[in-house]
Copies of this chain bind each other. A is one copy, B any other.
């Protein structure tokens, strides 16, 4: 991709499935799109059975027409490679391409994504289709981007069929070279699981009790790799035929099965889908995912490829977004690095399993619905933000996030088997979000020297080199905050012996002697300088080895023992949180760290107001999102002037933002 961005404007549009409608509707659609400010549309995602109705016989005509119509109306196309669902003729020809679950139960066609990623003929058929498609459309002027497949692995992240078993054995041979090495890394002397031969190994199918966790972990790795191969093969063809057209595949935010950090290195721009539940109020997880998605490619702006205008259809109860909320959440994402706001989908389907999923144009088909009006207003507003395109976000705080750690920490047979990795990460993120502190995500092996503070929540797995990386960071002056149950195992899920958390003991100046997981009905409290705070989930029994206690446990047989500690290490500090404190405590701890490291938000604002910043070489943009129903008054710094990008209005001293409203300001040092 030549620049960071697909279009010189904020991309705006959505998924479009013209094959579901007669041709006359296509023209109507194109006009409604123009009217709504749409400039990019994703087409053909589920088109395989229509583009190749019989094996080897292609029909691109209808798609030519669609793309011509769109182009004539000034709408560009994010063209899908159409490989998301294998056609019925493929299933009929290769019934063993249907995926099989852990219990040996096969899934059939009739919905979507019913393929085993390791089927020996799948890839060849996908490649043939993609080549034909790319050759056909490579010169089409509407083509601005490739949408490879769709939400890889969303329904079938694992298959356990015989094809997979064979591929898994090959993958293991490549990884371990010798069966003896595999036995060692899988700890197969436990429960007499030793293998003499690669052929003896099976996927972690149903077993009488807990399966070998190293085997399970490798199956996560293997499946991630197997699915990635499908993507890589399509990419190779597209690169060859259309070297200048950027390509991506839509990620699904906090989607466990795929290691998006590694995937992101292979796309030209991160695109992702986000469906927060409006029942949950403040979209903190959505914000966190925006920050994570931006971090996947080192801060490069991304596209929000799918969100919904109002409501989805796949939850038990699908509550709509109230008026204005779709716009607010869009700006929250823009403030965190989005160069595009797209929807699933353009026109609500009439039939099928998603006919009650919200869309830009609803079943009524008219342009008078609340939803369409909001879509149109946002489309026109975004046209005023061309100058934001390509601008970046800068953070002084990083949270360590690692997919392999996620896989490992949520395996079974742990001290506490209800720990949710994302929740614990969110515990820390939330306190930064509430204080409008900009945060990046990084992997534990990444160079984090640019950050003042690094937070490692539930960093259970620490792989080769990570100990040294974090030691270097703290030794050179960084502040590292580590939560309970970190530094426990290596990349094979084998315990780092010698006292927990072995690879972090030097930095933290402690030894954790025992763990006390809490039952749901249990809790304890923290004592810190006369104040008390609730804590739940877990208590570490900590022996101090140089660290000082910041808070002590308030009851139970370990009353008075340290719960939170701090330790000088080199020029930096290691802080340890040996429990799950309530937000009030974590916020207070965070504030003291931020203060010490002189980290401040862009503006001081009331509660439930988001402030984010994006930078270009020359300009600095502030995005303010007021989630309150009431207006808020914001005091502006004395030495700066703010220009409203929507209307050019200038603000000094103070600014009022209406309830459920967002503004984008340009910040200028007052001269």
Residues of A within 8 A of B (CB): 17, 19-20, 46-50, 53-54, 82, 84-85, 87-89, 91-92, 99, 103-114, 154-156, 186-197, 199-202, 204-215, 279, 310-311, 313-320, 322-323, 348-356, 363-366, 369-371, 412-418, 492-495, 497-500, 511, 513-520, 522, 541, 556-557
> Shortest beta-carbon distance, A562 to chain B, in Å?
15
- Say which residue of B279, B317, B353, B418 sits within 8 Å of A416 (CB atoms): B317
A557 touches B351 (CB 8 A): no
25 contacts between A and B (CB under 8 A): A49-B192, A85-B193, A88-B196, A106-B206, A107-B206, A107-B207, A110-B193, A110-B205, A110-B211, A110-B215, A114-B208, A155-B208, A187-B352, A210-B353, A213-B351, A279-B519, A313-B413, A317-B416, A318-B416, A320-B516, A356-B413, A363-B495, A363-B498, A364-B499, A364-B513
Interface centre among A189, A195, A494, A514, by most chain B C-beta atoms within 10 angstroms, is: A189
> Shortest beta-carbon distance, A415 to chain B, in Å?
5
Give bound CA distance, A205 to B95, whole Å.
Answer: 14
A110 touches B494 (CB 8 A): no
CB nearest neighbor in B for A417: B316
Residues of B within 8 A of A350 (CB): 187, 494-495, 497
CB nearest neighbor in B for A310: B514
> Shortest beta-carbon distance, A482 to chain B, in Å?
18
A187 touches B20 (CB 8 A): yes
Known: A114-B207, A364-B511. 14 other contacts (CB 8 A): A54-B196, A85-B193, A88-B193, A88-B200, A88-B201, A107-B205, A108-B207, A110-B207, A112-B209, A190-B353, A313-B413, A348-B495, A356-B414, A363-B500
Residues of B within 8 A of A192 (CB): 46-50, 82, 84-85, 87, 112
- Say which residue of B49, B196, B416 sits within 8 Å of A89 (CB atoms): B196
> Shortest beta-carbon distance, A455 to chain B, in Å?
25
Give bound CA distance, A415 to B204, whole Å.
Answer: 37
Residues of B within 8 A of A348 (CB): 495
Known: A114-B208, A415-B313. A351 touches B88 (CB 8 A): no
Residues of B within 8 A of A204 (CB): 108, 110
B92 touches A200 (CB 8 A): yes
Residues of B within 8 A of A87 (CB): 192, 194
> Shortest beta-carbon distance, A499 to chain B, in Å?
4
Residues of B within 8 A of A155 (CB): 208-209
A356 touches B415 (CB 8 A): yes
> Shortest beta-carbon distance, A342 to chain B, in Å?
19
Count copies of this chain in the complex: 3
B190 touches A17 (CB 8 A): yes
A499 touches B366 (CB 8 A): yes
Interface centre among A317, A417, A520, by most chain B C-beta atoms within 10 angstroms, is: A317
Give bound CA distance, A17 to B154, whole Å.
Answer: 41
Give bound CA distance, A201 to B110, whole Å.
Answer: 8
> Shortest beta-carbon distance, A576 to chain B, in Å?
17
Give bound CA distance, A212 to B105, whole Å.
Answer: 19
Give bound CA distance, A209 to B202, whole Å.
Answer: 26
Residues of B within 8 A of A108 (CB): 202, 204-207
Residues of B within 8 A of A113 (CB): 208-209
- Say which residue of B319, B363, B497 sits within 8 Å of A517 (CB atoms): B319
Give bound CA distance, A188 to B497, whole Å.
Answer: 57
Interface centre among A88, A92, A348, by most chain B C-beta atoms within 10 angstroms, is: A88
Residues of B within 8 A of A186 (CB): 351
A415 touches B107 (CB 8 A): no
Residues of B within 8 A of A193 (CB): 49, 85, 88, 109-112, 352
Residues of B within 8 A of A206 (CB): 105-108
B89 touches A210 (CB 8 A): no
Interface centre among A192, A215, A414, A495, by most chain B C-beta atoms within 10 angstroms, is: A192
B498 touches A365 (CB 8 A): yes
Give bound CA distance, A92 to B193, whole Å.
Answer: 12
A190 touches B351 (CB 8 A): yes
- Say which residue of B89, B103, B194, B416 sits within 8 Å of A50 (CB atoms): B194
